[in-house]
Amino acid sequence: MSKAMKIAIVDDEKDMRQSISQWLALSGYDTEVFASGEEALGVVGPDYPGIVISDIRMPGMDGIQLLRKLMGGDSALPVIMITGHGDVPMAVEAMRIGAFDFLEKPFNPDRMSELAKKATNARRLTLDNRALRKELSDGGQIMRKLIGASPAMERLREDVLDLGQADGHVLIEGETGTGKTLIAHALHAVGSRAGKKFVLLSCAAMDEDTLLRRLFGPMQPDDTRLPAVEEARGGTMVLEDIEALSDSAQARLLSVINDQGTPPETRIVAICNLQDEGRTCESALRSDLYYRLAALKITVPPLRQRGEDILTLFTRLSEQYSEEYGCDAPQVSAQEAAQLLQAPWPGNVRQLINLAERAVLQSRRGSGTIASLLMSDHDEMQPVMTTEGKPLKEYVEAFERMLIDNTMRRHKGSISAVMDELCLPRRTLNEKMAKYGLQRSDYL
């Protein structure tokens, strides 16, 4: 469960700020109160982990002045203004400056809770995107985020770095669960638009009318955000499930693209998630739109084509979950390693994440095996069969590499400790580490 967002309440009237605080605290928010704008500015800065609710009329620094200061420090910080009767011009001015919304006294507490929920959800998404951008702000970070040493992953990382520097629109294709949205974030983070808007919209998550309004406008009285094409101006607009766009929506999107010129003011990253056999993104979109979006294209590899990356990912994920749940990571047998490698993985990395968490929880209870979890996911899978028909030698080598890698990390690069645990002479260990591309310096 994610940590509760903070709500900073700014009001010169003690009774008002305390009553708002008590009401929102009952809704699960972590509130803090301030008697003046000056006091609030001492705490609320850029990347503040929450939102602000402020009265508009206060002695000294009023709400409008506070709003200007807050927007100057972090223009994406949601600020809800409380206005009195007859303050409509001030409310309009606040919205023009960048206020998230306003409440008119006397206001309905439920309406305030509803606005707080919308604002904190928007703030959480903003902060998550910033954290991801920071994490992916250089090539080294991308290498650590996009785990894997398979040729397919090395090509993918190169594509992200190369296409991230380009200006053209990008089409990302791949099976469900392969991490296409992560790739979209990475493309934005390593390019020249990294410090600009990143707007993500799922074309399959809303009905046609809502989608068209959210994407192109016009705004409705209760809308709190600009249409996506306006909100993303100068930055990146990511359209998940692009194949779900109707013919009329595709035509309008093409018109927007054509009006932008070259290079485009706003970069569009389209994510295609087709699962029907024999159906492609090219066949799902009108040809002129497809070729505009697919000027640059990335195909994210399915997990089953990533070889030993499967074991590397499983190990990292199970270690993360074991730390989260306060227990030891499950030990993987040679048979289970082979089964992980030969499983069909229709849900790809997302399925592997779920399986790793279940394996840790199962291990904490002291019952069950990884093989049983795999069989429950793939009832048709035979334990002794392989989907790719690989020789036994490849599975043995993959398991051996995983075993040495895990042991080296557990002992933080202590060769003597690894030799003792695996009962290997130093020369043999050195030879195997060289064979599998493992270096002691990576574990120190």
End residue of a domain, out of 134, 164, 188 = 134
Query: How many CB atoms are located within 10 Å of the residue 223 CB?
Result: 12
pLDDT greater than 80 at residue 425: yes
Do 163 and 270 fall within a single domain?
yes
- Which residues constitute the domain of residue 401? 392-442
- Looking at residue 141, its pLDDT comes to 61
- Say what the pLDDT of residue 54 is: 94
Q: In the predicted model, is pLDDT for residue 378 greater than 70?
A: no
- pLDDT, residue 294, reads 92
Same domain, 297 and 354: no
> What's residue 381's pLDDT?
43
From the list 86, 93, 102, the residue with the least C-alpha distance to 222 is 102
Instruction: Take residue 377 and report the two structure tokens written for it.
Output: 């996911």
Running DSSP on this structure, what letter comes out for residue 235? Answer: S
Residue 331 has pLDDT above 90, yes or no: no
pLDDT attached to residue 135: 61
Is 247 part of a structural domain of the chain? yes
User: Residue 410 falls within a domain, yes or no?
Assistant: yes
Show Cβ contacts of residue 411 under 8 Å, excluding neighbours closer than 6 positions. 417, 418, 421, 443
Q: Highest mean pLDDT: which of 353-362, 376-385, 414-423?
A: 353-362
Give the pLDDT band (50/70/90) at residue 83.
confident
Q: Categorize the per-residue pLDDT at 2 as very low, low, confident or very high, splitting at 50, 70 and 90.
A: very low
Q: For position 318, which CATH number holds?
A: 1.10.8.60
pTM of this prediction?
A: 0.60
CATH number at residue 58: 3.40.50.2300
**238 CB-near residues (< 8 Å, 6+ apart):** 181, 184, 188, 198, 199, 200, 201, 268, 269, 270, 271
Question: How many domains does the structure of the chain reveal?
Answer: 4
Q: Which residues contact 90 (CB under 8 A, 6 or more apart)?
A: 56, 57, 63, 64, 83
In the sheet with 198-202, reading across from the earlier edge strand, the strands are 198-202, 236-240, 267-272, 170-173, 296-299
Q: Is 277 in the same domain as 144?
A: yes
Give pLDDT, residue 382.
42
Q: Residue 292 to residues 81, 161, 248, 288: CA-CA distances in angstroms?
A: 42, 21, 17, 6
Q: How confident is the model at residue 136 (pLDDT cuts 50, 70, 90)?
A: low
Q: Kindly state the average pLDDT of the residues 352-364.
A: 91
Same-domain pairing of 173 and 274: yes
pLDDT band for position 278 (50/70/90)? low
- Tell me, what CATH number does 150's domain have? 3.40.50.300
Q: Would you say residue 345 lies in a domain?
A: yes
| Residue spans of beta strands (DSSP E) within 241-357 | 267-272, 296-299
* Domain shared by 271 and 406, yes or no: no
Weakest mean pLDDT among 16-20, 197-201, 205-209, 386-390:
386-390
Residues 179 and 296 in one domain: yes
Q: Degrees (nearest 5) of the Cα angle 348, 275, 376?
A: 45
| Same domain (yes/no): 90, 20 | yes
For position 142, what pLDDT does the model report? 54
Question: In terms of domains, do 256 and 283 share one?
Answer: yes
Q: What is the mean pLDDT of residues 314-340?
A: 86
Least confident of 60-74, 91-105, 208-222, 306-320: 208-222
pLDDT digits (tens, 9 = 90+) for 41-80: 999 988 899 999 999 989 989 999 999 999 888 888 999 9
Averaged over 80-105, what is the pLDDT? 85
Q: Which long-range contacts (CB under 8 A, 24 or more apart) does 33-36 make?
A: 33/8, 33/9, 34/8, 34/9, 34/10, 35/11, 36/10, 36/12, 36/60, 36/61
189, part of any domain:
yes
Lowest mean pLDDT among 36-45, 91-100, 155-164, 214-223: 214-223
Q: Is residue 370 part of a domain?
A: yes
Q: Which residue has the higher pLDDT, 276 or 26?
A: 26
Is a pLDDT exceeding 80 seen at residue 397? no
Do residues 203 and 211 make contact, with C-beta atoms less than 8 angstroms apart?
yes
Residue 389 has pLDDT above 60, yes or no: no
| Mean pLDDT over the full length of the chain | 84
Considering the domain architecture, whether residues 58 and 189 belong to the same structural domain is answered as: no
User: Residue 119: its pLDDT value, please?
Assistant: 92
Asked if residue 230 and residue 200 are part of one domain, the reply reads: yes
Tell the residue number behind the tokens 């394996």, with chain if given: 359
Distance CA 64, CA 73 (A): 14
Least confident of 18-27, 67-76, 115-124, 278-287: 278-287
| One domain for residues 99 and 48 | yes
Are both 212 and 274 inside the same structural domain? yes
Amino acid at residue number 21: S
Q: Is residue 387 part of a domain?
A: no
- 3-class SS at 237? strand
φ/ψ bin of 85: left (φ > 0), alpha (ψ from -120 to 50), beta (otherwise)? beta
